[in-house]
Amino acid sequence: MGLFDRLLGAKAAKSAAEANAPKKQDTSFYLEPEASSSLGDVSFMKRSNTIRHTFPGTLDSPGNKEMVAEVASMKARLEKMSEGLAGIQTSEEAPNLTSGVPKPVKKTFAQQLSPKELEQRMKGSAVGVNVPGGPAAIKKEQDEQAAAQSQPEITRQVGKPGDINPFKAMARELRS
């Protein structure tokens, strides 16, 4: 049985050595959750801040508006909100009970003008009513058209690409 003694003897020797050896001291340690984070100054991030927003008034609610809120990292609390902001309105008017009832439609029809009435309306400044600038602008346009018609037109001659004959013709027209 020498073979089995060697095998069992080694196991028994180990268990005896473990029993005699002093226990290892636990060298691990744990940090607090705030100290173990690498986010920076946690107390700075946990403090609450008071935020004040100001808004201009409107036609319906004139004057400056103000909203004050206290905000922390985990909660927010609204301290003050001016009247007329985000749905805060006090209504002292009586409710309108006929708001859903449609009003009757007023029917209008164009009346036929006689030729005499049409001619009377076309006289004078009524001709240029819908033209920007009125009758003065119409007269100016007519003068410009008359001046444009009195100037000679320059004819354009078509030639080969790179040909300078059209330029020569233009120069001749300018000299004459």
Kindly state the percentage of the chain with pLDDT values over 70. 65
pLDDT of residue 159: 66
| Residue 87's pLDDT band (cuts 50, 70, 90) | low
Give me the amino acid identity at 44.
F
pLDDT averaged over the chain?
Answer: 76
Residue 12 has pLDDT above 60, yes or no: no
Q: What is the pLDDT of residues 97-124, one digit of tens each?
A: 777 788 888 888 888 888 888 888 777 6
Across 149-158, average pLDDT: 66
Quote the pLDDT of residue 68: 92
Alpha carbon dihedral 138, 141, 146, 149, in 10-degree steps, equals -140
Residue partners of 135: CB distance under 8 A and separation at least 6: 125, 127, 128
What is the DSSP code string of 58-116? -SSS-S-EEEEEEE-SS-EEEEEE-TTSTT-----SPP-TTTTSPPPPPP--PPPPPHH
- pLDDT tens for 27-80 read 777 777 766 666 677 777 788 889 998 988 888 778 888 989 998 877 888 888
Q: Which residues of 136-150 are buried (b: 16+ CB within 10 A; e: fewer)?
A: eeeeeeeeeeeeeee
